[in-house]
A = this chain, B = another copy of it.
Amino acid sequence: MAEKAFGAIELGGTKTFVLIAKDRSKIYSRNIFPTLSPEQTIPDITNYFRDQAKVFNVKLESIGIGSFGPLDLDPKSKTFGYITSTPKQGWQFTNLKGKIEDSLQAPVVIDTDVNASALREFQSLLKQDINCFVYITIGTGIGGGFIINGELVHGLVHPEFRHIKIPHDKHIDPFIGICPYHRDCFEGLASGPALEERWHISPSLLPKHHMAWELEADYISLALMNLICTISPQKIILGGDVMHQVHLFEKIHQKTRDVLNNYIKSKYLEDHIQELIAMPYLQDNSGIFGALDLAMINNS
């Protein structure tokens, strides 16, 4: 008889990660392919699971998806589990959960890619008694996943953090920003594509001492100040491509303290800001392993 296993999908804007595992420690198989159209990529995903389940003689109990959004995550909605008004061509109003469930005949648990990452990063901290946890990704886009009082936060839509407004001094930085909705919101100023448009070079090629990183750390610190003043997280993980620039962390620690200006009286913030605002434990693997956590959420 086939052994029980779980499937995980991280559906990103450019790449799709898939994985089959018995549990968090035993991985049967994993793969990556480009995210093309839904007509191409959804069968790529379901064929992978069908083939590999046969190869390893396993039966998928459930499948977790961490997907780019926006998603409809309201279980009472008619379009629950759909990708909704995404700018990504062809994917608008795709019934992601439904199509994969129908094709694989297994229950699918869906959430945002950032929530999946948040879940995985949070699990690795469980001993620390944290009731307000935030995972932020700064890359092609900016996103935020929140775990508060033991559960992922799903509000009116889903938390995102990306489009908050921060002070933007145009005398210092005349760049108008790239957000199609708000121009110079946080994502419009500080995402990877914003950096690229601002400096006419891929951010990964910008040298460590380029003033771009000072400005980037300024914007991230203002956004973190707002986050800290809004819900007072005990842990903030910063992931995503832009944060591969690890030298940013030191700048962010310093500048966040500077903008808060000793308002928050917390010894932890004063003495351990490098633990409060930290790198992801699983680096870029949080998303796919978080999707596995979603699959196992009712089975662990």
Chain A positions within 8 Å of B, measured between CB atoms, are 70, 84-85, 131-132, 144, 146, 148-151, 153-168, 181-182, 185, 222, 225-234, 259-266, 268-269, 276
Q: How many copies of this kind of chain does the complex include? A: 2
Question: Is B222 touching A155 in the complex (CB atoms < 8 A)?
Answer: no
Q: Which B residues touch A266, using CB under 8 A?
A: 156-157
Question: Is B156 touching A149 in the complex (CB atoms < 8 A)?
Answer: no
Q: Which B residues touch A168, using CB under 8 A?
A: 167
Nearest Cβ distance between residue A238 and chain B, in whole angstroms? 15
Nearest Cβ distance between residue A63 and chain B, in whole angstroms? 24
Tell whether A234 pairs with B264 under 8 Å between CB atoms, given A165-B167, A167-B167.
no
Q: Report which of B159, B163, B225, B228 forms a contact with A156, defined as CB distance below 8 A.
A: B228
Q: Which B residues touch A150, using CB under 8 A?
A: 149
Question: Is A164 touching B226 in the complex (CB atoms < 8 A)?
Answer: yes
A-B pairs, 9 with minimum CB distance: A155-B232, A132-B155, A181-B263, A149-B149, A164-B226, A149-B151, A148-B148, A163-B229, A85-B265
Q: Name the CB-closest residue of B to A166.
A: B165
Q: Name the CB-closest residue of B to A133.
A: B155
Tell whether A225 pairs with B159 under 8 Å between CB atoms, given A148-B149, A153-B231.
no
Q: Which B residues touch A132, using CB under 8 A?
A: 153-156
Q: Which B residues touch A265, using CB under 8 A?
A: 70, 84-85, 157
**Bound Cα distance A97, B84 (Å):** 49
Question: Is A233 touching B149 in the complex (CB atoms < 8 A)?
Answer: no
Q: Report which of B131, B167, B222, B230 forms a contact with A230, defined as CB distance below 8 A.
A: B230
Q: Report which of B131, B155, B264 forms a contact with A154, defined as CB distance below 8 A.
A: B131
Q: Which B residues touch A157, using CB under 8 A?
A: 232, 264-266
Nearest Cβ distance between residue A105 and chain B, in whole angstroms? 31
**Bound Cα distance A157, B131 (Å):** 12
Nearest Cβ distance between residue A122 and chain B, in whole angstroms? 13
Question: Is B148 touching A222 in the complex (CB atoms < 8 A)?
Answer: no
Q: Which B residues touch A231, using CB under 8 A?
A: 146, 153, 155, 159, 230-231
